[in-house]
Structure 1
Amino acid sequence: MIITDTLTDRHSIDFGKTRIDFTLTLHKRKSLRIDVHPDKTISVFAPMDKDKKEILSRIKRRAPWIIKQQRYFDQFHPLSEEKRYLSGETHSYLGRQYRLKIIKGNNTVKLMGRFLKIFTKTPLNGEASRQLLDEWYLFHAKNIFEKRVALCSEKIKSLNIPIPRVQLRKMKKRWGSCKKSGEILLNTELVKAPVHCIDYVIMHELCHLKIHLHNERYFRLLSIYLPDWKKRKERLEKITI
């Protein structure tokens, strides 16, 4: 059966116990292309004149690679832990853990010794404490990330990549991403990770500004400027935010 529909359709294949869902788009092209995106979704682009069974067969042969790529992107999907924002709760900052203390007072947050102290007019209101702490994290994330991006950019200045503009956003599924325009988007929650993990995410995105795909050239480039990136990656994967 020859596929003649040029619209993008949803398809899936089974590989062992794993179900792989993907979008299939037919183009006037000569070869099959498979893209695994940072959110772990999959896009397949295939020639219009190829038989459907042949296309699915070729995708299935690439299943081990697809799964490997999805697992790779897992490191950018932060592990979440439900917080109640109560005294005694543990919260992280730059890789170290601090005990939360909720104290009645003017709305502010202070890092004092091994404690994150939230002074709030409504100490029994967990949502109010969360908002104050989120604002504190955002303030420090902005300052720290801009400094780390500048330092990391200096390390790769031979690539002639301008220091990118940094955008911050609290995200549930990614530590960071980059845009073709040269901007880097970083998760404010990354400020809870150790500095060497922050640098790993930044360097990961900076190298993507040079090589967009996760191919051999990309990892070779990353290894040149960050030889221990695998160790940093392993540490980041264990972080719960």
Structure 2
Amino acid sequence: MHHVQYGPHRISYTIQERPELAAHYLSVAQHEGVVLKGPRLSAAEADSLVLKKARWILDKLALVRAPRPEDVVTGSRISYLGRSYYTQVVFVPGLPKAQVTFNHSSFRIQVAPEGDVQAAIAQALAAFFRAKARAKLAPRLRQCAAQTGLTYAALKIRQMPKRWGSCTAQDVIMLNPEVMKLPFTLIDYVLVHELCHTRVKSHNKEFWAELARHCPDWKELDKRVKDIRL
């Protein structure tokens, strides 16, 4: 790693020797940082080239390091069981797979700085919510079925872009692992809603009447669920 000082700013950069190139080029990327590419040159020459483009480099670094609204970074909040938790992202060079841990007060995500960091974090979080859904939703669905007297054939956990859950013609209940972001009051509403579809498949008057038998406050719960962006 090479360094140059530009006023109060210390610019770190790496050199990639590319003898096939006719000139030297600078690139700035979020995870690669500043890279000088081109034929072999002395350290002094490299520093001079970087300093000539220092203002441009600093502008680019500010741009690529600025998180997008959807990015998960240290300080982000992740919803889980109706609450929003502080998140810490820790970079571990060479880590083969991002890892998510939750200690009931915050999330900690370990991820390699190489490659697409946000894609790796998204995959790890998806795996976390799938695992929690499998562990927590199956016994809760059995409990809801026992309380309502409604029966179902099987439970499947499946990512769905626009639904919290669904019920097939064969009475297989499918639940989106994103359900784990809801408080238990709304989770139970989603479960009972889908259980009612084992008796009435469409959202007709008969269905809403069936739902009202088990959830007298279903209108309020339904509105709360719909107000949460999936």
TM-score (norm 1): 0.60
Deviations 1:181-209 (A, max 9, x none): 11011111111111111111111111111
Please tell me whether Structure 1 or Structure 2 has the larger radius of gyration of its CA atoms: 2
After the TM superposition, which residues 28-177 of structure 1 pair with which residues of structure 2 at under 5 Å, given as runs?
83-105=70-92, 107-122=98-113, 125-157=117-149, 159=150, 161=151, 163-177=152-166
**Residue identity (%):** 30
Alignment partners' CA distance in 2, 1:82 and 1:139: 26
1:82: how far off?
Answer: 6.0
Contact residue 146 and residue 166 of structure 1 kept, 8 A: yes
Alignment partners' CA distance in 2, 1:217 and 1:117: 46
Instruction: Choose which of 222, 227, 230 in structure 2 pairs with 1:238.
Output: 227
**Unaligned runs of at least 5 residues, structure 1:** 1-80
Structure with higher RCO (Cα < 8 A, 6+ apart): 1
Contact residue 184 and residue 205 of structure 1 kept, 8 A: yes
C-alpha spacing 1:82/1:183, structure 2 compared with 1 (3 Å): farther
Q: What amino acid is aligned across from residue 141 of structure 1 in structure 2? A: A
1:126: how far off?
Answer: 1.6
After the TM superposition, which residues 209-228 of structure 1 pair with which residues of structure 2 at under 5 Å, given as runs?
209-228=198-217
Alignment partners' CA distance in 2, 1:82 and 1:221: 41
Instruction: Choose which of 188, 193, 196 in structure 1 pairs with 2:185.
Output: 196
Q: What amino acid is aligned across from residue 229 of structure 1 in structure 2? A: W
TM-score (norm 2): 0.63
Alignment partners' CA distance in 1, 2:195 and 2:216: 15
Contact residue 122 and residue 128 of structure 1 kept, 8 A: no
1:240: how far off?
Answer: 2.9
2:128 match: secondary structure: helix
Alignment partners' CA distance in 2, 1:238 and 1:82: 20
Calculate the aligned-residue CA RMSD, in Å.
2.1
Deviations 1:46-86 (A, max 9, x none): xxxxxxxxxxxxxxxxxxxxxxxxxxxxxxxxxxx962121
Alignment partners' CA distance in 2, 1:220 and 1:148: 23
Alignment partners' CA distance in 2, 1:112 and 1:138: 17
Deviations 1:94-153 (A, max 9, x none): 110012211134642111243111122338812111111111111001111112211110
**Unaligned runs of at least 5 residues, structure 2:** 1-67
Alignment partners' CA distance in 2, 1:239 and 1:150: 25
Instruction: Choose which of 171, 184, 188 in structure 1 pairs with 2:173.
Output: 184
